[in-house]
Amino acid sequence: MDLRFDGKCALVTGAGQGIGAAIARELGAGGATVVVADLDPDSAGAVADEIAAAGGTAHATQVDTGKPDQVEAMVDFAANAAGGPHLLVNNAGIGGPRAPVGEYPLESWHQVIDVNLHGVFYGMRYAIPKMQAAGGGAIVNMASILGSVGFAQSAAYTAAKHALLGLTRAAALEYAGEGIRVNAVGPAFIDTPLLQNLEDEMRAGLIALHPVGRLGKPEEVAALAAFLLSERAGFITGSYHLVDGGYTAQ
């Protein structure tokens, strides 16, 4: 499927590696001008350079999505650099420590919620007015399988991803009449740099959770995100799409 985004500015957070980088590359290959945003400016710059080397157009910027002033500045940067943003992928997220609810560190709770939930709200809060001015747009919020199921000792992450789905649906209803679509994607365990340093036994355990018998690939998530952002998905909004190798079908 040839998805084109010519003339569009696409803003992707957490795009310095993993799923975010794969989405940025996919959109760049489709003709979008991509703003690669990440907490690590060197990683963001490297991905932007890679897109440019492949014949695309990209700009890099640093952002901590848990801080509203930085998110506002990021959106303004995208508007000044390439217009828009017409497309937004709120992908940045952190996992947090593993601990039961009764022992979960308060500082970590707030940090995970700030990045994984508040950061998504901030992204939409500042990008949607730009989309309204441009006559429409599309947003993908990166959830997780843990937006629909629980996972022991990951209370903050699970709570944030569940809440993200409600936020996605509310925004979709509010802006459907203005040509702005909002959807969520829920990956299972994806083979990103965060998982590549696991011990063999732990990695095998994660693989065993997926009926397809392997971890997902960042490019598989990127393909779905790109479709949802494209005009081919023009009748899809307010929905949650899993990329989970059968994980939640069990």
* Whole-angstrom distance, CA of residue 53 vs CA of residue 48: 9
* Whole-angstrom distance, CA of residue 148 vs CA of residue 167: 14
In single-letter form, the type of residue at position 14 comes to: G
In this structure, the strands spanning 180-187 and 87-90 are unpaired
SS3 89: strand
For tokens 């009449």, what's the residue?
Answer: 177
> Which residues are within 8 A (CB) of 26 and not within 5 positions of it... i.e. 6 or more apart?
219, 222, 223, 225, 226
The catalytic residue among 157, 175, 240, 247 is: 157
- Catalytic site includes residue 157: yes
* Whole-angstrom distance, CA of residue 99 vs CA of residue 105: 8
The set of catalytic residues is 157
